[in-house]
Structure 1
Amino acid sequence: MENKGIGVLLVNLGTPDEATPAAVKRFLGEFLSDSRVVDLSKWLWRPALYGAILPIRSPKVAKLYQSIWLEEGSPLMVYSQRQRDALEARLNIPVALGMTYGNPSIQSALSMLSDQGCRKVIVLPLYPQYSRTTTAAVFDKVARSLKQTDYLPELRFINHYQDHPGYISALAESVTNVWAEHGEPDYLLCSYHGIPKRYADLGDPYPEHCNQTTALLAEALAMPRDKMSMSYQSIFGREEWLKPYTEPTIIELAQKGVKRLDVICPAFSVDCLETIEEIAEGCKDAFINAGGETFNLIPCLNDNSAHIAMMENLIKQHIQGW
């Protein structure tokens, strides 16, 4: 692609810089202080967050990160960097990686693109299904990062791709690759990151997008719907979140006689704490303890070629006319 001053900003959620309680506390403090994520009154929420939740939760979460940490760093960061590298090589235009929380920041990524002469920037949040808690939070950070900029770049913002044919095809390919090696399971579960039910009631289209992805993936796999369903994981706090919840669903499937269960996490662009530790370790243990026998986590799309090709096509579609 000819460079006409166009750059790409890839954005993921973020990750602690290190697998230490202090680094986790900094990261979670920034993440959970965002009103897009937790919309409680800051006068009520922040004293509880900094006075009780972070001091108690940070050491526990740090141990979980330590259990999955790679030699190169956090899995989310390692795979996101590989995505950036692969995408830039295919597009032949500058691609910068920014994180909504932590490092590298969105502001630093936008500055990098500006330094490379990019006056037109396409923003791709790595969330296939739109949610106020993820995609909208990226938009907020981009806007705040540009607030002090004298010359604003022209922006285009991709806010969802839950039904993009290339995305569905990449998901199906990742599933069939596992099945080619291990055989088909008794049941396939799509586990999505949860959000408070109240957000959906107020108009967040996230559950609708998750339903669309699940239905299209079932169609692509020719999977009977009595052998495939969806659930929501990573529940936090006492408020009701979207249901059904993943771990109870997995336990129920085992109790109903499912012996081999495969789980895919379509909302996650890269493998991270929520897929590697929560699903592949925690939920696997719950399944086996409830009577299941074989449990497979189907890896996230990460930097596989079908995923990068989908992102390339998605960006080229949105660049048309520039």
Structure 2
Amino acid sequence: MKGVLLVNLGSPKSPEPKDVKPYLDEFLMDKYVIDVPYLLRAFLVRGIILRKRPEESAHAYKKIWWKEGSPLMVLSERMHKKVQAKATVPVALAMRYGEMTIEKGLQELHEQGVTEVLLFPLYPQYAMASTLTILVLAEEIRKKKFPHMKFTDVPAFYNKPEYIKNLADSIKKSLEDFGDYDQLVFSYHGIPERHVRKTDKTKSHKKFTTNVMCCQPGTPAAEFCYRTHCYETTRLVVEQLNLPKDKYCVTFQSRLAGDKWLEPYTDVEINNMPAKGIKKIAVVTPAFVTDCLETLEEIAMRANEDFVENGGEEFLAIPCLNDDDNWVETVSNWIKEWAS
């Protein structure tokens, strides 16, 4: 019997430091997130980062927390229910980090008689700190707990026509009420440059040129290249929306100090825009299909405030696809195609 496991990032149990700390510990101690030897990772995370970060992150979570709970969890559950209603096979929801574990999701499917699972990481672009860590952990759990299960995984869907149409339609709908704008910012989650090199089986990544795609889409080097996936997502959406070159840009957000991360940086670019006469902007975050801390607090709140403080006038944070009916239809159709 076939079944599907949708997997998203996860969230703390509550926006209180006591719950944020163990969540951050699990997240940051993941060797695919901070990819240094264990002892160094433990020193950085438990000896330095977790001394102050839980309180800071808790403050940020409190700013976006809903009465029903974490926005990411609530929106993921809404999307899951809609997909299950359309699917012909069991569909479970899990998170890479936090209490809604991948093991629990697989157990739920196992109890329904599922022996063949479609692993569906809810990330359009491939990255070791998102897609790969889900697939590796799921396989470890399968070997230990569910050895008779068979896995198939959904590849990065950054260039799938249905996804591109959903994303483009969502952007177009948001911009209709916003009116004419100076710049549409495609802000993707940043990663260290070395992550791109580590996932490149061709070992062809040596130097990155800002605003230039590093790989030709469809080539072996591009298969697991997060940076190329981001630029290609943008190109395809821009093509659908028929945007002129001076109306959009690509940036990368959420960087940590100490490493060389993908550039240009979202905060730097947005803060410099008013001085260039760019006073009305919209920001879309296509690395996420579900609104979360990085979209609701970092972009819709902080980036908005900083833009205005630097002379900007109007700022629009475009929502993620969340439980949009067209996106749900796309996911459901992909599942039906696999299950048939």
Same fold (TM over 0.5): yes
Give runs of aligned pairs for residues 1-322 of structure 1, distance below 5 A: 5-149=1-145, 151-202=147-198, 203=200, 204-320=224-340
Query: What's the Cα RMSD here?
Result: 1.2
Asked if 2 retains the 8 angstrom alpha-carbon contact of 1:6 and 1:119, the reply is: yes
**Amino acid of the residue matched to residue 2 of structure 2?**
I
Task: Provide the rounded CA distance (Å) in 2 between the counterparts of 1:10 and 1:269.
Answer: 12
Asked if 1 retains the 8 angstrom alpha-carbon contact of 2:125 and 2:156, the reply is: yes
**Amino acid of the residue matched to residue 184 of structure 1?**
D
Task: Provide the rounded CA distance (Å) in 1 between the counterparts of 2:276 and 2:42.
Answer: 43
- Partner of 1:243: helix, strand, or coil? coil
- Spell out, residue by residue over 1:134-191, the C-alpha distance to the aligned partner (whole angstroms, 9 max, x if none): 0000011101211223542121101200011111111111111112222131110000
Asked if 2 retains the 8 angstrom alpha-carbon contact of 1:25 and 1:55, the reply is: no
Asked if 2 retains the 8 angstrom alpha-carbon contact of 1:166 and 1:306, the reply is: no
Task: Provide the rounded CA distance (Å) in 2 between the counterparts of 1:134 and 1:274.
Answer: 14
- Partner of 2:129: helix, strand, or coil? coil
Asked if 1 retains the 8 angstrom alpha-carbon contact of 2:89 and 2:339, the reply is: no
- Partner of 1:49: helix, strand, or coil? helix
- Partner of 1:238: helix, strand, or coil? coil
C-alpha deviation, 1:42, in angstroms? 1.2
C-alpha deviation, 1:71, in angstroms? 0.6
Asked if 2 retains the 8 angstrom alpha-carbon contact of 1:194 and 1:241, the reply is: yes
From the superposition, tell whether residues 115 and 216 of structure 1 become closer, same or farther in structure 2 (CA, over 3 Å): same
C-alpha deviation, 1:317, in angstroms? 3.2
Asked if 2 retains the 8 angstrom alpha-carbon contact of 1:12 and 1:125, the reply is: yes
**Amino acid of the residue matched to residue 119 of structure 1?**
T
Asked if 2 retains the 8 angstrom alpha-carbon contact of 1:6 and 1:94, the reply is: yes
- Spell out, residue by residue over 1:176-210, the C-alpha distance to the aligned partner (whole angstroms, 9 max, x if none): 11122221311100000000011123325000000
Task: Provide the rounded CA distance (Å) in 2 between the counterparts of 1:210 and 1:182.
Answer: 24
From the superposition, tell whether residues 249 and 151 of structure 1 become closer, same or farther in structure 2 (CA, over 3 Å): same
Q: Which runs of 5+ in 1 are unaligned?
A: none
Larger deviation, residues 145-154 vs 134-143:
145-154
User: What is the match of residue 207 of structure 2?
Assistant: none
Q: How many equivalent pairs are there?
A: 316
Task: Provide the rounded CA distance (Å) in 1 between the counterparts of 2:184 and 2:123.
Answer: 21
- Partner of 1:117: helix, strand, or coil? coil
Q: Which runs of 5+ in 2 are unaligned?
A: 201-223
Larger deviation, residues 274-283 vs 304-313:
304-313
Task: Provide the rounded CA distance (Å) in 1 between the counterparts of 2:105 and 2:277.
Answer: 49
- Partner of 1:147: helix, strand, or coil? helix
Q: What stretches of structure 1 move > 4 A for 4+ residues in a row?
A: none
Task: Provide the rounded CA distance (Å) in 1 between the counterparts of 2:116 and 2:145.
Answer: 14
- Spell out, residue by residue over 1:71-104, the C-alpha distance to the aligned partner (whole angstroms, 9 max, x if none): 1100010001011101000113211111111121
**Amino acid of the residue matched to residue 121 of structure 2?**
P
- Partner of 2:113: helix, strand, or coil? coil
**Amino acid of the residue matched to residue 290 of structure 1?**
N
Task: Provide the rounded CA distance (Å) in 2 between the counterparts of 1:96 and 1:155.
Answer: 14
**Amino acid of the residue matched to residue 267 of structure 1?**
A
**Amino acid of the residue matched to residue 115 of structure 1?**
E
- Partner of 2:10: helix, strand, or coil? coil
TM (normalized to structure 2)? 0.90
- Partner of 1:8: helix, strand, or coil? strand
Give me the identity figure in percent: 39
- Spell out, residue by residue over 1:50-73, the C-alpha distance to the aligned partner (whole angstroms, 9 max, x if none): 122112110110011011000110
Task: Provide the rounded CA distance (Å) in 1 between the counterparts of 2:89 and 2:51.
Answer: 43
**Amino acid of the residue matched to residue 226 of structure 2?**
Y
Asked if 1 retains the 8 angstrom alpha-carbon contact of 2:178 and 2:316, the reply is: no
TM (normalized to structure 1)? 0.95
- Spell out, residue by residue over 1:99-126, the C-alpha distance to the aligned partner (whole angstroms, 9 max, x if none): 1111210000000001011111101000
